Amino acid sequence: MIVLTKLRELNISAAAAGIRPLHLSAASGLVCLNSIMYVVADDELHLGVFSVADRKPGHLIRVFDGVLPGSKAARKRQKPDLEALAFLPAFRDFPHGALLAFGSGSRPNRRRGVLLGLDPHGVICGSPRSLDLSPILVPLNEEFSEVNIEGVVVVSDELRLFQRGNKGQAGNAIIRFQLSTVLDALQSERIGAIKPSAISRLDLGSIHGVPFSFTDAAALPNGDMVFSAVAEDTEDAFRDGPCIGALIGIADNNGDLRSLHRFDRPYKIEGIDARLDGNRLDLLLVTDADNPDIPAVLLSSTMNIPDL
């Protein structure tokens, strides 16, 4: 069992929040750059920005226009469902790289994304650039009965998407695209369908009949990928269910499963940042509370990987 330590709740300053709750509740993706922690939440039109070094309330950066309904059911129907956040290395219009927020693709209104440019210090600069991710996500309907992207990482010259399974469709998969093809497409006004170069399907096991399914991922320097997964008792990619288990796993550069490690508590972990220090893997993780009145939390954990 890997021990989890709670570090803080993802509270938002009153000045940044306005009339909204003073927290993020449905954290779903995490990227740390220097001392800045960026968090997407699947029921928000904003990106959360927090300090890694302290527990001060964070602030918000708007990424989509509009206002989401207050009621949970209506909000769920209309939300953009940003489930993944990734750092992209420098490319044409972004000399210092960018953050890519990625919609799950589980409904037509969830095929949007956002590019956020960065300065040399990893601070967001400029205006968000909205993206139509349909050319990437729609072709995946040929491979999966329900598309549900939960993680995005860059490994060498590839962009890799992590497809999440559920009780109705248990298959998890790592979907690989040529990074240059995707980056060119993201900056083009007229693009056709983009097909993946490879798909690796993984069985993560189950607990009490509920399969473990991907919730996020992070890349290591050697090309291995660290991912989080939970056993959420739900039959499809739309409805929530109780979380009865959580784990971390490692897949190698080819997408083959190397190891799985259970967490000591069944937090619904939906975002992960992983840093390697020798053979020690330091983790930061964020949770989805599945309740708008409950703040998401930031957790930490450490594990040794002797064979890296």
Task: Note the pTM of the prediction, 2 decimals.
Answer: 0.94
SS3 content of the chain, % helix, strand, coil (to 5): 10, 50, 40
pLDDT digits (tens, 9 = 90+) for 139-166: 999 999 899 999 999 999 999 999 998 7
The C-alpha angle with vertex 130 and arms to 214 and 153, in degrees rounded to 5, equals 30
**By three-state DSSP, how is residue 282 classified?**
strand
Q: How far apart are CA 249 and CA 202, in angstroms?
A: 11
Q: CA 219, CA 286: separation in Å to the nearest integer?
A: 17
Q: Which amino acid is at 5?
A: T
* pLDDT tens-place string over residues 258-275: 999 999 999 999 999 999
Instruction: Give me the residues of the chain with pLDDT under 70, please.
Output: 16-19, 167-170, 189-190, 235-239, 307-308
